[in-house]
A and B are shown apart, each in its own frame.
Chain A
């Protein structure tokens, strides 16, 4: 396997795509949003249980490629118990990692999310990895609108 592919399909990514965490609508969810990536047909719903400013529960449903599923799954594990502001800050850092590579972010601060650090080398796949994050943001905003990455 060439190094780029190995960076893209890291074990953590394969694992989370095969066994997505929080793959459900959590009890008491009070915010959700839908996202889609028309190019590959990825569709995702992100559900939040927001208590005040804190994301008490987060889950997702949907179908998509390994990158979009793993990204959604990793996101749910990272955002549980985080505040809105922390979620937004993490969004910015993940976004930066996905679009411009590792240069601008300290991967060790991203924990398991760093497994997606190989995505930026595949411009066609950046949308797959960012879909869940955009959808989460839309749910947080309470806009509840449909997010499309096209």
Chain B
């Protein structure tokens, strides 16, 4: 056995999970008399104390509106809010902080792009290309746009393992394609798409690319400049930050030429009843009082994950995913849905003919939280030929015991549905 393999048997090096778990107060509780086993981080992640404290501290000490007061509190709030933007910039390696637009989450980020960039560029007969594995939030905004414009929504296929068929995707990019929008990581299958290559392929045809990074940002470092994507969207709450805050990254050239989305305070430079001029980036897209506490919490989450180190996080999660994959494969009658070569932290499955909802209820009685259903990917479910799946999703605070508890719970399921 190599040294590396030996170490990975004992748990990946570099991350002291028990210590990390102490940073997440919510994990230390019992559910129905059993220790909580939280395997639903793809739906939303838990928050470390550092994030909770940052939000509380803001409200206790710094609360004021941003970009408008001359008083000290407003100065502090503005600084904290803009510092958070800078943290996000560094986190995804954007060229400038003006490329970071704070939004409510991935859903709002995608809608923003559809309603501004999309509306300005897409004409009747044009095409928007997405993939079969998209979340509803990366389908419906494009559908609405295409309906409005008389454009066509096209869908690149996946294979039975849940991997994009790249040749097909390439073939579907044509002179009428105005945008390609796809998930970096699939929330239902865990598939990590080769987005760098895909961006290259799309750019060869002059097609800009939006990446839905909701499930990628919590698991590995994002480098938007290396990816060369035109837009990148993610949610704070899946990245150990608060709900209500998310990020749209856009290349500054694109953001500059886009019309504003919502109108209101903060997004203007001057207003008369005849004419309004827009504020500079990114404020042009941030109408109204933003989620200041949310942004500050997200900044704290980024600090927290960065301090852990993504290398350690990735090694631990990789180890856990292999461990869990093997453990689930060994369960008779269990079928894994989503068996791509490149996967991140998501295990979708069905247990014989037992409906996932029943699986979820029985596991919940054991204190195990998973998600069941269509995971906001109904078209993907149809493609896979299942009405629903059970999904266990992992984060760095999970450990092998959690997987063992899941397996024991699934034995119970099989006992009840013998």
Contact = CB atoms under 8 A, between A and B. Distances in A.
Contact of A41 (B354, B358, B365, B373): B373
A124 interface: yes
A8 B365 CA distance: 11
A65 B355 contact: yes
B349 to A, nearest CB: 16
Contacts of B355: 40, 64-66
Interface string A1-27: 110110011000010001000000000
Contacts of B365: 2, 4-5
B208 interface: no
Interface string B403-418: 0000000001001110
Interface residues of A, number: 22
Contact of B374 (A4, A41, A63, A125): A41
B361 A124 contact: yes
Interface in A32-49: 39-43
Nearest to A63: B387
Contacts of B362: 5, 9
Contacts of A14: 416-417
Contact of B416 (A4, A5, A40, A67): A5
A1 B416 contact: yes
A139 to B, nearest CB: 22
Contacts of A75: none
B191 to A, nearest CB: 21
B388 A125 contact: no
B357 interface: yes
Nearest to A64: B355
Contacts of A66: 354-355, 358, 417
A56 to B, nearest CB: 31
Contact of B415 (A1, A39, A42, A43): A1
A38 to B, nearest CB: 9
B416 A41 contact: no
B415 A67 contact: no
Contacts of A65: 355-358
A98 interface: no
B334 interface: no
A125 B416 contact: no
Q: How large is the interface on B (under 10, 10 to 19, 20 to 34, 35 or more residues)?
A: 20 to 34
Nearest to A2: B365
A122 B373 contact: no
Contacts of A55: none
A72 interface: no
B107 interface: no
Residue of A8, A9, A40, A63 most packed against chain B (CB within 10 A): A40
Nearest to B372: A40
Nearest to A124: B361
Residue of A2, A14, A42, A124 most packed against chain B (CB within 10 A): A2
B233 to A, nearest CB: 25
A128 interface: yes
Contacts of A42: 357
Nearest to B354: A66
Interface in A65-80: 65-67
A92 B412 CA distance: 34
Interface in A53-105: 63-67
A79 B416 CA distance: 28
A39 B373 contact: yes
Contacts of B373: 39-41
Given A9-B416, A66-B355, A66-B417, A41 B361 contact: no
A132 to B, nearest CB: 15
Contacts of A43: 387
A108 B152 CA distance: 59
B381 interface: yes
Interface in B319-375: 353-358, 361-362, 365, 372-374
8 contacts: A14-B417, A40-B356, A40-B388, A65-B355, A66-B354, A66-B355, A66-B358, A128-B357
Interface of B: 32, 353-358, 361-362, 365, 372-374, 381, 387-388, 412, 415-417
Interface of A: 1-2, 4-5, 8-9, 14, 18, 39-43, 63-67, 122, 124-125, 128
Given A9-B417, A40-B357, A41-B387, 11 more contacts: A1-B412, A5-B365, A9-B416, A18-B353, A40-B355, A40-B372, A41-B388, A43-B387, A65-B357, A66-B417, A125-B361
